[in-house]
């Protein structure tokens, strides 16, 4: 178990800078998830922590020790990859014990640790099989088992579930969560699945193009995204973004009108002043529309498609200015049966962003 910190960590591949000075504190025992779109640098950052990539600038600290020049094997970390990377010719048991045997770990202790990992992951029945005789989920369990037997200070996971089908992903997600509770070890987990991030993390790190955009507890990011990028990344279905214009300003407030809907107006608090006439974006989560008449103003949209999932319905619709949006109506099996739908919008459940995506409130 250990805390970990990144101080102004930079990564360059040749002349190209990929990570632009990352700062992060990870507490002992914390479960931290890196999320972000493909190519934003999640794996690179994780591989630098693991010691599989050199650090071009800054400092990585594990357990109070700078590890920039420490060999991967001596960092007290264990990494689990998307591709299981098991030895095909070895049994599960041999795969689990291999690293310890190579390090000359005493036989009895190795057996004890392998047994312990097998118990935790419930793979006792599979110990004599070879990887090709296992399902994807079982293989990933063995890969995680190989990390457990090393008794690392920090576990690193790089999209460990992305090769599994949807149902198994959910199951393994719960198992990883349970594993974290049971072991209490610091874990850093990379994914681009925002549901995995929301459900697993104590703390989410949102990355974009090599920059950390925001760090926070899952619900903090949901309630208080720092910018439009984070707002669009956290929450599912994604937040709707509607074009709007500032039509009035007050002391610490701005009144906006939706594009193509001059009468659909909302007055929102703003932290930074914004000039009248400014183009802005209103963010509304699909689940934050209310019934007509229940919000601060009503919005009527054209219904394109309605999906009824039983517990909830998703209405895919279009605004007067032809902007697409998704509206969620819990418990409704009839919403969206007509050609138009009127819903309520409220300032309290809306977000305002300037033209650069910065949060105004």
Ligand X SMILES: Nc1ncnc2c1ncn2[C@@H]1O[C@H](COP(=O)(O)OP(=O)(O)OP(=O)(O)O)[C@@H](O)[C@H]1O
Residues that bind Mg ion (CB under 5 A): 43
Nearer to ligand X (CB atom), residue 40 or residue 282: 40
Residue 254's binding partner among Mg ion, ligand X, none (Cβ under 5 to 8 angstroms by kind) is none
Among 10, 12, 17, 18, binds ligand X (CB under 6 A): 18
Contact 27, 153 (CB under 8 A): no
CB of 208 to ligand X, least distance (A): 10
Residue number closest to Mg ion, CB atom: 43
Q: Does 13 bind ligand X (CB under 6 A)?
A: yes
CA distance linking residue 42 with residue 11, whole number of Å: 12
In whole angstroms, give the CA distance from residue 161 to residue 191: 9
225 contact choice in ligand X, Mg ion, none (CB below 5 to 8 Å, kind-dependent): none
44 binds ligand X (CB under 6 A): yes
> Residue 44 touches which of Mg ion, ligand X, none (CB < 5 to 8 A by kind)?
ligand X
Among residues 323, 221, 248, the alpha carbon closest in space to that of 282 is found at: 323
153 CB contacts (<8 Å, ≥6 apart)? Answer: 1, 2, 62, 63, 76, 77, 185, 186
18, interface contact from ligand X, Mg ion, none, CB < 5-8 Å by kind: ligand X
Tell me, residue by residue from 187 to 226, as one string, x for binding to ligand X by CB under 6 A and - for no binding. -----x----------------------------------
What is the nearest approach in angstroms of Mg ion to the Cβ of residue 127? 31
Question: Please, where are the H alpha helices in the chain?
Answer: 42-50, 92-102, 107-121, 136-148, 166-183, 194-200, 218-223, 228-233
For ligand X, which stretch binds (CB under 6 A), given 35-43, 250-258, 322-330, 339-347?
Answer: 35-43
Answer yes or no whether residue 79 interacts with ligand X by CB under 6 A.
no
Choose the contact partner of 262 out of Mg ion, ligand X, none; CB within 5 to 8 A by kind. none
Nearest 5°: the CA angle 76, 82, 85 is: 70
Burial of 64 (0-12, 13-18, 19+ CB in 10 A): exposed
* Cβ proximity to ligand X, 16 vs 322, nearer residue: 16
Kindly write down the DSSP assignment for every residue of 301-339, as one continuous string: EEEEEEEE-SSEEEEEEE-TT--EEEEEEET-SSTT-SS
- Contact string 106-145 vs ligand X (x = CB under 6 A): ----------------------------------------
CA distance 7 to 212: 12
Residues that bind ligand X (CB under 6 A): 13, 18, 36, 38-44, 192
């Amino acid at each position: 178990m250990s805390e970990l910190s990144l101080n102004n960590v930079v990564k360059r591949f040749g002349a190209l800078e990929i990570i632009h000075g990352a700062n992060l504190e990870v507490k002992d025992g914390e479960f931290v998830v890196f999320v972000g779109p493909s190519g934003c640098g999640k794996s690179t950052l994780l591989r630098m922590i693991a010691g599989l990539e050199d650090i071009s600038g800054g400092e990585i600290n594990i357990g109070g020790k700078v590890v920039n020049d420490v060999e991967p094997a001596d960092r007290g970390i264990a990494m689990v990859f998307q591709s299981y990377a098991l030895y095909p010719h070895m049994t599960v048991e041999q795969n689990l014990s291999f690293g310890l045997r190579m390090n000359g770990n005493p036989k009895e202790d190795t057996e004890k640790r392998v047994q312990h990992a097998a118990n935790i992951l419930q793979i006792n029945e599979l110990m004599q099989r070879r990887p090709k005789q296992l399902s994807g989920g079982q293989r990933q369990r063995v890969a995680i088992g190989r990390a457990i037997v090393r008794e690392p200070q920090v576990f690193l996971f790089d999209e460990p579930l992305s090769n599994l089908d949807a149902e198994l992903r959910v199951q393994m997600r719960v198992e990883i969560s349970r594993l974290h509770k049971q072991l209490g070890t610091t874990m850093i987990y990379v994914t681009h699945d925002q549901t995995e991030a929301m459900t697993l993390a104590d703390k989410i790190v949102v990355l974009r193009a090599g920059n950390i955009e925001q760090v926070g507890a899952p619900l903090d990011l949901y309630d208080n995204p720092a910018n439009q990028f984070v707002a669009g990344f956290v929450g599912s279905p994604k937040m709707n973004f509607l074009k709007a214009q500032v039509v009035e300003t007050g002391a610490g407030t701005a009144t906006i009108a939706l594009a193509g809907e001059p009468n659909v107006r909302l007055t929102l608090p703003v932290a930074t002043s914004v000039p009248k006439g400014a183009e802005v974006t209103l963010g509304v989560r699909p689940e934050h529309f209310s019934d007509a008449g229940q919000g601060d103003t009503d919005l009527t949209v054209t219904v394109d498609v309605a999906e009824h999932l039983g517990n909830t319905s998703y209405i895919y619709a279009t605004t007067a200015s032809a902007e697409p949006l998704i509206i969620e109506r819990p418990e409704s099996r009839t919403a969206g049966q007509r050609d138009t739908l009127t819903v309520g919008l409220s300032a309290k459940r809306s977000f305002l962003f300037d033209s650069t995506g910065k949060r105004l409130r």
